[in-house]
Amino acid sequence: MFNFSAPWIFLSLPLPLLVWFLSPAVKTAQDQALYLPFFQQVKFLFHKTRSLQHQWRPFILAGFIWVLLVFAAAGPTWLGDPIALPQEARSLMLAVDISGSMQIPDMSLGGQNISRLEAVQALGQHFIQQRQGDRLGLILFGSKAYLQTPLTFDHNTVDAMLQDSSVGLAGELTALGDALGLAVKHLKDLPAQNRVLILLTDGASNSGHLSPTDAAELAAQYKIKIYTIGFGASSLTVPGFLGPRTINPSADLDESSLKAIADKTGGEYFRAKDTGSLNAIYQQLNQLEPVEQNKIQYRPQTALYPWPLGTAFLIAFAILLQRAFPQLKFKSHKTTALNEESV
């Protein structure tokens, strides 16, 4: 929509008319005239060029220039659509285990058996899109931990990086402590109320240089709240030599360490045994760490005054050019007059 920063400027539009009517008339002196015996012939030749339209053209152009100048001085602007600015958005880091055990197909979604990582990717996408207003980051860890996406408001990129991850990309083992240490490194300099880490794993720490206990103590020093999720089914039927048998695919899950990490940092531990419980945990995390509501809005403004101002200058320049070179205007008329005279 259009808007004017100084609409009161339009009150000056009738100013030239006031000056015209209120200023005293200029007295003209009766100068001596030169008598031309062929005055009627000259008057006839220039009759067509001195029409009423030509007499009023300078006043019309001057008025149009004045209107353009007033319009530009009023500050015309174009207001774009409102854009909401996040206010005190949380910085939420996601640490996802992509070790070899994440390929175990003990999850079910839509009636199909899928791997653990596929379930995390499917449900994590919805969780990421729900965190509008928050800055999100992604850490993937296996034998080593890598910062896949730094903290950003670009949730589509975070989701794309999660969807592109694959089992074994960071190694087959689980460097749980290194993943926590990497998260602390990127969260420690942020405001205390915005330091949140959600860690999802299906095993125990068996790789890396930093132990989970030391990493949790370091996170507690920087007041980083960690929510831990132990992921994996409690039973899985697999074929055997004597027939199908049931095993516990989450036997390696170190729940005690995950609980200790959450307790030490003021977070909470969750156990997800299927996709339904994982989705419920994500919804619960949205309640524990709510998204800040957008309270500040702004509308981008584009200044439009250069257009009327430039048009006014172009018209004025054309008038000055015409007065500086009047022969450009009367060239055709002179040619016509000479032709008539020769006839």
| Domain match, 313 and 264 both | no
- Single-letter residue type at 60: I
Per-residue pLDDT, 334? 43
Same domain, 207 and 226: yes
Contact indicator for 249, 233 with CB cutoff of 8 Å: yes
- Total structural domains in the chain? 2
Same domain, 291 and 307: no
The Cα–Cα gap between 94 and 159 comes to 11
Does residue 35 belong to any structural domain of this protein? no
The verdict on residue 17 lying in a domain is no
Amino acid at 216: A
Of the residues 281, 296, 311, the one at which a domain ends: 296
- Identify the CATH number of the domain in which residue 241 sits: 3.40.50.410
| Whether 306 and 292 share a structural domain | no
Please state, in angstroms and rounded to a whole number, the distance separating the CA atoms of residues 211 and 214: 5
The CB-side HSE value for 42 (13 A sphere, CA atoms) comes to 5
The residue with tokens 């949140």 is 196
27 in a domain, yes or no?
A: no
Q: Are residues 192 and 156 in the same domain?
A: yes
At 46 the three-state DSSP class reads: coil
282-300 pLDDT per residue, tens:
888 888 777 655 555 667 7
**Residues whose CB falls within 8 Å of the CB of residue 100, separated by 6 or more in sequence, listed in order:** 142, 167, 168, 172, 173
274/303 same-domain check? no
> In percent, how much of the chain has pLDDT > 70?
80
The reply to whether the predicted model has a pTM over 0.75 is no
Residue 187's SS3 state is helix
Q: Contact at 8 Å (CB) between 250 and 234? A: yes
The answer to the question of residue 236 being in a domain is yes
Residue 52 has pLDDT above 50, yes or no: no
C-alpha 32/C-alpha 24 separation (Å) is 25
3-state secondary structure 224-245: CEEEEEEECCCCEEECCCCCCE
Element (H, E) at 85: strand 83-85
Query: Does residue 19 lie within any of the structural domains?
Result: no
Domain of residue 123: give its range. Answer: 85-296
CA distance 87 to 133: 8
Q: Is the pLDDT of residue 309 over 50?
A: yes
Domain co-membership, 142 together with 179: yes
Does residue 313 share a domain with residue 283? no
Q: Are residues 139 and 2 in the same domain?
A: no
If you average pLDDT over residues 114-134, what whole number do you get? Answer: 88
- Of the candidates 55, 67, 58, the one whose C-alpha atom is nearest the C-alpha of residue 14 is 67
Confidence of residue 159 (pLDDT cuts 50, 70, 90): very high
Q: According to the per-residue pLDDT averaged within each range, which of 88-102, 140-154, 233-247, 277-291 is highest?
A: 140-154
- Kindly report, residue by residue over 191-211, the tens digit of the pLDDT: 777 789 999 999 889 988 899
Specify the pLDDT at position 30. Answer: 54
% of the chain surpassing 90 pLDDT: 32
229 and 241 fall within a common domain: yes
Indicate whether 218 belongs to any domain: yes
In a domain, 2, yes or no: yes
On whether residue 31 sits in a domain, the answer given is no
Q: Are residues 125 and 266 in the same domain?
A: yes
Bridge partner residues of 198 (DSSP):
94, 227
Q: 130 and 71: one domain?
A: no
The neighbour count for residue 289, using CB atoms within 10 Å, is 17
pLDDT for 333 equals: 44
